[in-house]
Amino acid sequence: MKKILFLLLFPILLFSKDFNPDDYEADVDKIIEAAMKSNIGWERLEYLCNNFANRLSGTPQLERTINWVYEEMHKDGLANVQKQPVMVPNWKRHYESVKVIFPMEYDIDMLGLGGSIATPQEGITAEVLVVRDKDELDRRKDEVKGKIVLFNAPFTTYGQTVQYRFYGAQWAAQYGAVASLIRSVSPIGFDNPHTGMMAYSDSIPKIPHAAITLEGAELLQRYQDKGQRATINLTMHAKHYPDAISHNVMGETKGSTLADEIISVGGHIDAWDAGQGAQDDGGGCMTTWEAVRLIDELGLNNKRTIRSVLWTNEENGAMGGKEYAKGFANEKHAMAFESDAGTFAPLVIRFKGSPEIMEQVKKFEPLLQKINPQITVDEGGGGVDISPLMDTGVPGMSLSPDDKGRYFWYHHSPADTFDKVDKEEFKQCVAAIAVTIYLYSILELE
């Protein structure tokens, strides 16, 4: 009997929950028109890059940035504007250098990796052992003791290659290396070093770990291939200071009928201490904030509350995302959206959640294609800042832009600057994010 009832009711339920994108076409048109017209988000990205570069956790400029966002969100008229305190790591690089001593004197451009310990004041001078991958290191483990290991791993995917940045110091130290270097995690090089986070293990001695340019890595590779024993000096005066206070900053546009259900959407406001953090993640912050501002300004009938959140400390600790999930655990989160893959032409809106919601979200596609006929909706959403929320069962979304491989040209390097972001593409991202979160806010999800 129960089974029969279920079979009878099921089609009716589905029908009542069914989402018809045509009903919202007029709203979507309004959003797209406003996004392509407004310069507010774009000007904010410029202001951010011009006034608040090097926003690494623990710096006064990161907190000045957050205060600026806080004030601007108030000016936008967003509701519930607040700063959530977050304790963050406080690591500073100070002076650092890589100098070839032998066979010739030569400076190699470098950036120490985030969280690395320092060398002694005068640096570490040692012979270099170059390996192309971890397998080669393991094969040559008997040659490692007392040397500086360079992982000269060419870029394949970020996910693969970043392992050397993250674990390289552990892998080298376990065989007795005195320091370790990586070839910068980037597919191309113009003498441009790329920094990023690394990790130690308590069971393995800690050694200094830094990224050098592709050019420098290839030079050291050539010495070794020619049978020349290269000697370098690595000097890093990096220092860990006591944890500092930082903040997630947020403001929202209240939902009409489901105001207690929250859609959080944002990027991370911190950045590395090189360049201006324009693509990583100034663009992600300013496009998502602008999307929420536009929905609020247009007075659309978003049923759920949409919250613009700029998370802190994504780069070297991810404490912002963690503290956010903890601090707002009492709320009902309908979805979390993160943009942290660069601000290029929007290409794929990704979703991770139940198949039933995926079926609804997939219907956004024709409306999103009004922005760019190439845009699709597909599975796979996620991100560092929203993963603590997603771990509690909250569906996640993210934007995969059409970067043509360029994101990792600039990522974590001095070349991540405002001039690398295209105004038209920026606005298309705003439109795509705004359309997505607005439509999501009116879905029937139960």
Strands (E), 330-438: 332-338, 346-352, 376-379, 396-401
Is 39 an interacting residue with respect to a second copy (CB under 8 A)? no
Per-residue tokens: 183? 């070839």
- Residue with Cβ nearer a second copy (9 or 188): 188
Contact pick of 61, 125, 163, 174 for a second copy (by CB under 8 A): 61
Is 24 an interacting residue with respect to a second copy (CB under 8 A)? no
- Residue with Cβ nearer a second copy (215 or 402): 215
Q: Where are the alpha helices (DSSP H) in 362-419?
A: 365-368, 387-390, 407-410
- Residue with Cβ nearer a second copy (328 or 426): 426
Stretch of 83-91, 104-112, 138-146, 236-244 lying at the interface with a second copy (CB under 8 A): 104-112
Per-residue tokens: 160? 């693969």
Q: In the beta sheet, which residues pair with residue 310?
A: 249, 267
Residue from 48, 3, 132, 56 nearest 417 by CA: 48
Contact pick of 6, 10, 95, 190 for a second copy (by CB under 8 A): 190
Stretch of 237-245, 339-347, 388-396, 414-422 lying at the interface with a second copy (CB under 8 A): 414-422
Is 71 an interacting residue with respect to a second copy (CB under 8 A)? no
Is 204 an interacting residue with respect to a second copy (CB under 8 A)? no
Element holding 252 (H helix, E strand): strand 239-253
Provide the minimum distance between the beta carbon of 192 and a second copy in the complex, in angstroms, as a whole number: 4
Per-position b or e across 119-139, b if 16+ CB within 10 A of its CB: beeebbbbbbbbbebbeebee
Is 41 an interacting residue with respect to a second copy (CB under 8 A)? no
Provide the minimum distance between the beta carbon of 181 and a second copy in the complex, in angstroms, as a whole number: 17
Is 189 an interacting residue with respect to a second copy (CB under 8 A)? yes
Element holding 249 (H helix, E strand): strand 239-253
Is 224 an interacting residue with respect to a second copy (CB under 8 A)? no
From CA 131, how far away is CA 154, in angstroms rounded? 11
Say what the alpha-carbon torsion angle 90, 398, 427, 83 is, to the nearest 10 degrees: -40
Is 51 an interacting residue with respect to a second copy (CB under 8 A)? yes
- The answer to whether 207 touches 154, Cβ cutoff 8 Å, is no
From CA 219, how far away is CA 98, in angstroms rounded? 13
Is 214 an interacting residue with respect to a second copy (CB under 8 A)? yes
Distances (CA, A) of 367 to 26, 204, 254: 10, 53, 23
From CA 140, how far away is CA 129, in angstroms rounded? 9
Residue from 287, 283, 277, 214 nearest 415 by CA: 277
Is 279 an interacting residue with respect to a second copy (CB under 8 A)? no
Contact pick of 38, 54, 125, 387 for a second copy (by CB under 8 A): 54
Is 405 an interacting residue with respect to a second copy (CB under 8 A)? no
Residue 187 CB neighbour total at 10 angstroms:
16
Per-residue tokens: 26? 């007029």
Contact pick of 50, 80, 374, 392 for a second copy (by CB under 8 A): 50
Is 103 an interacting residue with respect to a second copy (CB under 8 A)? yes
Binding characters for a second copy, 343-382, by CB under 8 A (x = yes):
----------------------------------------
Is 297 an interacting residue with respect to a second copy (CB under 8 A)? no
Is 402 an interacting residue with respect to a second copy (CB under 8 A)? no
Binding-site residue total for a second copy (CB under 8 A)?
37
Bridging pattern class, strands 110-112 and 209-212 = antiparallel
First to last CA, the chain: 24
Q: Which residues contact 32 (CB under 8 A, 6 or more apart)?
A: 370, 371, 431, 435
Is 342 an interacting residue with respect to a second copy (CB under 8 A)? no
Contact pick of 42, 52, 167, 175 for a second copy (by CB under 8 A): 52
Provide the minimum distance between the beta carbon of 214 and a second copy in the complex, in angstroms, as a whole number: 7
Provide the minimum distance between the beta carbon of 291 and a second copy in the complex, in angstroms, as a whole number: 24
What are the catalytic residues?
A: 314
Is 418 an interacting residue with respect to a second copy (CB under 8 A)? yes
Is 77 an interacting residue with respect to a second copy (CB under 8 A)? no
Element holding 75 (H helix, E strand): helix 60-76
Residue ranges binding a second copy (CB under 8 A)? 46, 49-54, 61, 103-106, 109, 188-192, 213-215, 218-219, 222-223, 226, 228, 275-276, 409-410, 413-415, 417-419
